[in-house]
A and B are shown apart, each in its own frame.
Chain A
Amino acid sequence: MTHQRSVLVVEDDDIVAELFQHLLSDEGMQVSLASSGVEARRALAARDYDAVVLDIRLPGQEDGLKLAEVAVGEGCGVVLMTGDHRFEKTLIASGHRYLLKPFRVERLLSAIEQAIRQSQQRARREGST
């Protein structure tokens, strides 16, 4: 039996959050929602997630990259998103999986899987040192 993926989505727009919930639950993932960076940090501290999906610009102008590093520290895979394609170079440099909006749902699903594999590899490397 495959392990059910647990994904934390950081999204302040309730209708978009609902869309994420619908799309990812339909694929058998367990979805949690955080409407701000602060809420996401609390959620990350409280339990383990396989992956976090977040925009590079969080509500209240909080830096998504900083939150991404917190998520990595908690052993999560990270998928960053942006609708502003000028940020693409920053996203490439971050080393995280990223998506430019609008994206196909399949790309979201595969980015989540790749981000989880990336975090597992990171954990194995850290475990072997």
Chain B
Amino acid sequence: MEYKETILVVDDESMLRAVFSDMLASGGYRCVVAANALDALRLIEANLVAFDMLVTDIVMPGELNGLDLAIALHERQSDVAILLITGYAESPIKKEAEARGYRILDKPFRQATLEAVIAEELAKRRAEKAEGSGSVVSLDRARQKREGH
């Protein structure tokens, strides 16, 4: 069975959602798209699927913003990669997101830039996971040392 990384995309603009879906599908990713922050939050709270990445606009209609979604998903799935997108360079939410260490991409951007940033964040996540599994190696080394190998 083909392994595909699963990305949750949240954007209230239908044209951008279509661009994201096409781009991610052709990049070999599995894309789950939510049209607003509330639907996305319901998906996150259901905690059904393990996501590899969240790509979301920061400012959306309604009370919820992209940072709220990032925090909600991070609470449930701590190893998920996050990319926040914004057209408001000076917004306080963007500053808070930066302070929390989330990756942010300013609008407007080229599609190639978005593709590169997504690939980079997922690669970083894979490397962190591999680093985590490195402890198995070190435990094994410790055992070999005890056994005098």
Is A106 a contact of B1 with CB atoms below 8 Å?
A: yes
| A95 interface hit (Cβ, 8 Å) | no
Is A101 a contact of B47 with CB atoms below 8 Å?
A: yes
**Which of the residues B1, B6, B42 comes within 8 Å of A13, measured between beta carbons?**
B42
Binding site for B on A (CB under 8 A): 13, 15-16, 19, 22-23, 26, 81, 83, 101-106, 108-110
Q: Which residues of chain A come closer than 8 Å to B6, judged between CB atoms?
A: 104-105
Query: Is the contact region of chain A dominated by helix, strand, or loop, or is it mixed?
Result: helix
**Given known contacts A104-B6, A105-B6, A19 and B49 CB-to-CB distance under 8 angstroms:** yes
| B65 interface hit (Cβ, 8 Å) | no
Is A15 a contact of B43 with CB atoms below 8 Å?
A: yes
Chain A, residue nearest B2 (CB)? A106
Cβ of A22 to closest chain B Cβ, rounded Å: 7
| B74 interface hit (Cβ, 8 Å) | no
Query: Number of contacting residues on B, CB 8 A?
Result: 17
Q: Which residues of chain A come closer than 8 Å to B46, judged between CB atoms?
A: 13, 15-16, 19, 101
A16 to B40 alpha-carbon distance, docked (Å): 10
CB within 8 Å of A: which B1-58 residues: 1, 3-4, 6, 30, 32, 39, 42-43, 46-51
**Which of the residues B4, B30, B42, B77 comes within 8 Å of A102, measured between beta carbons?**
B77
Which are the 6 A-B pairs with shortest beta-carbon distances?
Answer: A102-B50, A15-B42, A16-B46, A102-B47, A104-B50, A101-B47
A105 to B97 alpha-carbon distance, docked (Å): 29
**Given known contacts A15-B42, A15-B43, A101 and B32 CB-to-CB distance under 8 angstroms:** no
